A and B are shown apart, each in its own frame.
Chain A
Amino acid sequence: MRAIAPERRVDFAAIRKDFPIFEQKVHGKPLIYLDSTATTQKPRAVIEELERYYRTYNANIHRGVYAIAEEATRRYEEVREKVARLLNARSVHEIIFTRGTTESVNLVANAWGRKNVGPGDVILLTEMEHHSNIVPWQILVQERGATLRAIPIDAEGRLDLSGLDTLLQGPVKLVSLTHMSNVLGTVNPVAEVARRAHAQGALVFVDGAQSVPHFEVDVRELGCDFLAFSGHKMLGPTGVGALYGRRALLEAMPPFLGGGEMIREVKLEGSTWNDVPWKFEAGTMNIADTIAFGTAIDYVRRIGYDAIAAHSRGLAAHMMGALEEIPGVTIYGPPAGERGGIVAFTLDDIHAHDVATVLDHEGVAVRAGHHCAMPLHAKLGLTATTRASVYVYNLPSDIEVLAEGVRKAKQVFHR
């Protein structure tokens, strides 16, 4: 897992050719996709695995004893092993498949939260969380009579940990924070937060939706208790993600959804639960997408996290440099060295929707809005930002097209 690979050059121009979506044109221009924070494009291998499943071994898992059912079951469970290795979990029993990060947060907020959070207790978040790491906890604390607190951020969009020990005092049951901000690109010192949280008796949930696609994440090194991420943000299909949870916690948690497969024995008077992780996988799971998610993990690991992280950081620095040269551009968040491949910016008083529409006509796909982080935008005093984010199929030439498009937006609205 931790073997240091020798320095090797990855041909990212060749990687782009693995993604069929770039063979088309948008508004007559080549597609420049800069919205990987929202979802990534899919390589041919992933698309073909989906088709292979439906064409050759489509069957329900964990049930049939016939050949194709066993093939589907074997491949589905192999993905659990791939995820466990990816995160350096202790075993496959610590990996639960879900619909994605949002469902993973809801799973923990319901199954762990309703059992362990009571009146007066506190859930500690941060000011830079995605709505999916805020709202499930709000629902929980409202139901349980508990409260939410948030770790503040500083002017450059880093967590301000100076008051953390004070924030952690009292009945803080859990700290839930993002590993990498989906707006600012800030990479948070999760290991330090986890160490200080554990010292005060709080558990730690990590939203890894942006981090796991971009750099190596080791749950044992981080010392977190839960970590969630989504397949579709790392080249996999939509509708599947994974939740890591320490086994002792998962064993003690009641189920989230009830149904088939999550049970050991059902009587009309009551039921007993299956072993973890299957206790948390009720009903027919998203088999095809989970198997293709495994193909995506293989693809990411073949490129290698060292190369992906360096590529994203390099493009982010390039993007910040190119955008900063344009008068009227304001970039939010920390310096290039402290962030992943995400750059959120504003352009004078031109609305983000208008910037994004001009860029769209140049073939450039970016996100405009509050990126499901309204509290963060309120903190920054903003309604909306334009966000450009990169992944393995982006090249430096994409950044030039982006910068040219931003200049064009200025011309359109300041003429």
Chain B
Amino acid sequence: MSLDDLYRQEILDHYQNPRNWGTLDHPDITAVDSNPLCGDEIRIDLKIEDGKVAAVRFSGKGCSISRAAASMLSEAVEGKTLEEVKQISREDVLDMLGIELGPVRLKCALLALKTLKVGVYGVQQSWPGEDEEE
């Protein structure tokens, strides 16, 4: 994959102008996680109303891939039921990013999803790089 494909305009746009950036004052769900490889950190806040995601915010430190993935994911969960959020798979995130990644950068791409799952399940149910439990 060429550099231009990897850092395609949409990814750079989400990186430089992350959607839903910040924190919520009284979130119903907060999850934090980090990537031990690079020390990246992420926090995701969710406001749940009528069983649906009414608001989402994320914050933290990370590379372009991890931040773009979190930003795209945050758009994807808005308005979804918790059950629908639980159904989001690693393939969905990689489809959103639209790029091929090696095993190390895959962890960057999946950090937000991993954190989100910890938030909605309450405990960690899946690990990046491993098959989703169906």
Contact = CB atoms under 8 A, between A and B. Distances in A.
B80 interface: no
Contacts of B63: 351-354
A352 B38 contact: yes
Interface in A323-364: 351-354, 357-358, 361
A223 interface: no
A369 interface: yes
B6 interface: yes
Contacts of A374: 39
Interface string A394-415: 0000000000000000001101
B6 A383 contact: no
Interface size for chain A: under 10, 10 to 19, 20 to 34, or 35 or more residues? Answer: 10 to 19
A357 B6 contact: yes
A370 interface: yes
Chain A binding site: helix, strand, loop or mixed by DSSP?
helix
Contacts of A415: 12
Given A357-B6, A361-B2, A361-B3, A368 B12 contact: no
Interface in B4-53: 6-7, 12, 15-16, 37-41
B81 interface: no
Contacts of A195: none
Interface string B80-120: 00000000000000000000000001001000000000000
Contacts of A198: none
Contacts of A297: none
A384 interface: yes
A377 interface: yes
Given A352-B38, A353-B108, A383-B39, A413 B64 contact: yes
Given A357-B105, A377-B39, A351 B64 contact: yes
A368 B15 CA distance: 18
A409 to B, nearest CB: 10
Q: Kindly list the 9 A-B residue pairs having the minimum CB-CB distance in the complex, ordered from nearest.
A: A351-B63, A353-B63, A361-B3, A383-B39, A369-B38, A384-B38, A354-B64, A370-B39, A354-B63
Given A369-B38, A383-B39, A415-B12, 15 more contacts: A351-B38, A351-B40, A351-B63, A352-B63, A353-B105, A354-B64, A357-B105, A361-B6, A368-B38, A369-B37, A370-B38, A383-B38, A384-B38, A384-B40, A413-B12
Interface of A: 351-354, 357-358, 361, 368-370, 374, 377, 383-384, 412-413, 415
